[in-house]
Amino acid sequence: MVDRNRVTRRVFGAGVLATGLVGGAASGFAQGTPRRGGTLVATWGGGEPQACYVPAGGGSSPTFSSSKLFERLGNRAMDGQFQGELAESWKPAADFKSYIIKIRKGVKFHDGKDMTVDDVVYSISEIWKKYSAASALTDFTGVEAPDADTVVMTFSKPVPEFFFSSLLCGSVNYIVPKHVYAGSDPVTNPANNAPIATGPWKFKEWVRGSHFEYVKNENYWRKDMPYMDRLIIRYVRDPAGRAAAMEAGDIHIGVFNPVAPPDIKRLTATGKFVATPKGYEESVWSTTLECSMRNPVFAKREVRQAMFHAIDRNFLAKTIYYGYARPGTSPIYSPNKEFYTTDTFSTAFDPKKAAALLDAAGYPKKADGKRFAINLLAAGWFTENGKIGAYVKQALEDVGVAVNLSVPDRPTSIKRIYTDYDFDMAISNQANPSEPVPSTTQYFTTDGIKKGVPFRNANGYSNPEVDALVEKIKVETDPAKRKALVFQFQKIITTEAPLLPILELESITVASTRVQNHSNDPNYLAASWYDIWLAS
């Protein structure tokens, strides 16, 4: 049985993980013989998606709903190993400028048609290149199928194997049916609301405002899978409602913070639920604070460092996230086994140092006690950001910086931060996989400055040294050398401080103790859940 009394402290944890949070290593793994049949009801900590599948990703909600239907070429296991899914294997050529992918045979789409190399070629060239992985495929030159079970991707520069494997496992880099999508605009294709794919679950119905109903794919290529007959993805608008539905036994599992922190404790205390932070290692969320380089005040890096020294990240983690967060220390997050380092420049809480830095940088307190005034924008897509904004305003005012706070809603925040660059400092969020290129690096490189494209370099930071370093990271095929380069990158960025994660957020899955084989994928929200089952 699950050991409910053991409190897991993750290696990086600051010791703030609340008691009552359970889910040891055993929680996700099968006990006894899987029971077949039945219906599993799942939910997540957000709302209904705009479409069941959005080719460009479209956020966590469509990723959650589409990932049960679609599959990728590869998959990353909890232990970090890459494994084939719709591909059986892949390997680089000697010069790392092309990769040979062996495609799995005997895979059928939900409409009965065979999945072939044509579908793979179409997906890579039309969907990945144009929508889901456009920013990662900058050096991509082409894809072709020399025979019926091989696909070759070619690049203009050497591509590291870790980068390539991560690409194949990218959360929405799916293999889509060419016969459904060819000749249409993939963004508006009606099949996005009733997808046809290869995964363990088949789309049956979308009752808007309520749920998706998926049924078992009888022709699934993994023999005798999935165990269950039906998977319902239920949308409940508020956390309290989700907690009530879980308590009543109507929802079995909720991923990505389905209930409010106090309810996590209440639910796990009943012994009928487990809560686990596992399953988010490849999609770690952070709260970031950035300084716009367009404001001359932030030209000196000491001023930027001072902003971070003024903020007590432990307070934020403890009070606003009830301990379900930890201070961020690097642009690469601590669960990242490959690339995270503690050897970074520290901008820990030290208001005196912040004041001294500002004094030295030529911004002494004026007669009114203020040094300068800034506009702080907290992106309103998470309510916590507004609270963080209120705290940051106060913390900066304590060191003599006047702050005007605004907390616009999601579209206005996206527009003001990433299109209009209308902020001096901004609080936003990122969710990054282990591979730093391009997800992490595009927040810092000059080519990441793309007006109108969200979640890129919005502060205008441009440093030839960083650009050159990232170019090296991109093409370095020796894993050890690459790691050293990424360490160097972290050192520079934490010193320069144009944008830093102030918090790494702890995402939580809450599940009934009846649910077996869950939280067993490093991006569990986007896993296909083919092996989940419900004990009686």
Partner 1 sequence: MQRLEFIGRFARNRGALIGAVLILVVALMALLAPLFFPVDPLRIVGQPELWPGEDPDFPLGTDSLGRDMLSMIVHGARATLLIGLFASAVATLIGVSVGATAGYFGGWIDEIAMRAAELFQTIPNLIFVLTIVVILGSTLANIVIAIGIVSWTPIARMTRAEFLALRDREFVQACRAMGMGDFRIIAGEILPNALPPVIVLSSLVVAGAILFESAVSFLGLGDPNVASWGRLVGDGRQLIRSSWYICAIPGVAIMITVLCLNLIGDGLNDALNPKLRDR
Partner 2 sequence: MAGELASPAAPPRIARGSSRRAAALRLLRRRLIQAVPLMLGVVVINFVLIQLAPGSFLELMTAENQVSDPATIELLRKTYGLDDPVWLQLVKYIWALMQFDFGFSYRQNRPVIDAISDHLPATLLLMISSITLALAVGVSAGVVASVKVRTFWDSLVSVAAMFFFAAPGFWLGIMLIVLFSVKLGWLPVGGMMTIGDRSGAAGGVLDILHHLILPTLALGLFYAAIYTRVMRSSMLEVAQLDFVRTARAKGLSRNQVTISHVLRNALLPVVTILGVQMGTVLAGSVVIESVFSWPGVGSLLFDSVSSRNYPVVLGIMVLGSLVVIAANIAVDLVYMWLDPRIEIR
Map the footprint of partner 1 across residues 397-416, applying CB under 8 A.
404-409, 412
319 is an interface residue for partner 1 by CB under 8 A: yes
Output 375 or 446, the one with its CB closest to partner 1: 375
Output 298 or 455, the one with its CB closest to partner 2: 455
145 is an interface residue for partner 1 by CB under 8 A: no
Q: CA–CA separation, 155 vs 158, rounded Å? A: 7
419 is an interface residue for partner 1 by CB under 8 A: no
* Residue 407 site contact among partner 1, partner 2, none (CB < 5 to 8 Å, cut-off depends on kind): partner 1
Output 397 or 447, the one with its CB closest to partner 2: 447
Output 206 or 308, the one with its CB closest to partner 2: 206
Q: How far is the CB of 355 from partner 1 (least distance, A)?
A: 18
Q: 253, 248, 206, 192: which is closest to 53 by C-alpha? A: 192
How many residues of this chain interact with partner 1, rule: CB under 8 A?
25
Q: What is the bridge-based pairing of β-strands 372-378 and 515-516?
A: unpaired
* Residue 187 site contact among partner 1, partner 2, none (CB < 5 to 8 Å, cut-off depends on kind): partner 2
Output 234 or 371, the one with its CB closest to partner 2: 234
Task: Pick the stretch among 6-14, 134-142, 336-344, 386-394 that binds partner 1 (CB under 8 A).
Answer: 386-394
Measured at the CA of 407, the angle between CA 405 and CA 413, to 5 degrees, comes to 120
Q: How far is the CB of 55 from partner 2 (least distance, A)?
A: 7
The CB density around residue 299, as the number of other CB atoms within 10 Å, is: 12
320 is an interface residue for partner 1 by CB under 8 A: yes
| Structure-token pair, residue 466 | 């960083």
| Structure-token pair, residue 36 | 């077949």
Output 117 or 414, the one with its CB closest to partner 2: 414
Output 184 or 319, the one with its CB closest to partner 1: 319
Residue 144 DSSP symbol: E
Q: 332, 226, 215, 322: which is closest to 275 by C-alpha? A: 322
Cα distances from 259 to residues 97, 133, 247, 256, 476, in angstroms, run 46, 32, 11, 9, 43
Q: CA–CA separation, 230 vs 480, rounded Å? A: 45
Task: Pick the stretch among 49-57, 80-88, 378-386, 498-506 that binds partner 1 (CB under 8 A).
Answer: 378-386
Say whether 403 sits in a helix, a strand or coil.
Answer: strand
* Residue 404 site contact among partner 1, partner 2, none (CB < 5 to 8 Å, cut-off depends on kind): partner 1
* Residue 454 site contact among partner 1, partner 2, none (CB < 5 to 8 Å, cut-off depends on kind): partner 2
Q: What is the bridge-based pairing of β-strands 230-234 and 39-44?
A: parallel
Map the footprint of partner 1 across residues 266-295, applying CB under 8 A.
266
Task: Pick the stretch among 133-141, 335-343, 384-392, 441-449 that binds partner 1 (CB under 8 A).
Answer: 384-392
Q: How far is the CB of 364 from partner 2 (least distance, A)?
A: 37
What spatial distance separates the first Cα and last Cα of the chain, rounded to whole Å?
A: 14
Residue 113 DSSP symbol: P
Q: CA–CA separation, 120 vs 117, rounded Å? A: 5
Output 60 or 434, the one with its CB closest to partner 2: 60
CB 308 within 8 A of CB 347: yes
Output 205 or 398, the one with its CB closest to partner 1: 398
Torsion, Cα of 370, 373, 378, 384 (10° steps): 10
Where along the sequence are the contacts to partner 2 (CB under 8 A)? 41, 47-48, 50-51, 54-59, 131, 134-135, 187-188, 190, 192-193, 208-210, 232, 234, 236-238, 240-241, 244-245, 248, 250-251, 409-412, 414-415, 418-419, 450-454
Measured at the CA of 223, the angle between CA 218 and CA 228, to 5 degrees, comes to 55
Cα distances from 186 to residues 44, 66, 101, 333, 501, in angstroms, run 26, 14, 24, 33, 34
* Residue 266 site contact among partner 1, partner 2, none (CB < 5 to 8 Å, cut-off depends on kind): partner 1
Say whether 247 sits in a helix, a strand or coil.
Answer: helix
Output 55 or 380, the one with its CB closest to partner 1: 380
CB 201 within 8 A of CB 215: yes
440 CA to centre of own chain? 11
420 is an interface residue for partner 1 by CB under 8 A: no
Output 395 or 497, the one with its CB closest to partner 1: 395
Q: CA–CA separation, 482 vs 91, rounded Å? A: 19
* Residue 55 site contact among partner 1, partner 2, none (CB < 5 to 8 Å, cut-off depends on kind): partner 2
Burial of 362 (0-12, 13-18, 19+ CB in 10 A): exposed
* Residue 188 site contact among partner 1, partner 2, none (CB < 5 to 8 Å, cut-off depends on kind): partner 2
Please pick, from the candidates 25, 77, 187, 240, the single residue that binds partner 1 as defined by CB under 8 A. Answer: 240
Q: How far is the CB of 463 from partner 1 (least distance, A)?
A: 33
The CB density around residue 29, as the number of other CB atoms within 10 Å, is: 13
Q: CA–CA separation, 5 vs 346, rounded Å? A: 35
Please pick, from the candidates 262, 271, 452, 479, the single residue that binds partner 1 as defined by CB under 8 A. Answer: 262
User: Where do contacts with partner 1 occur on this chain (CB under 8 A)?
Assistant: 239-240, 260, 262-263, 266, 319-320, 378, 380, 383, 386-387, 389-391, 393-394, 404-409, 412
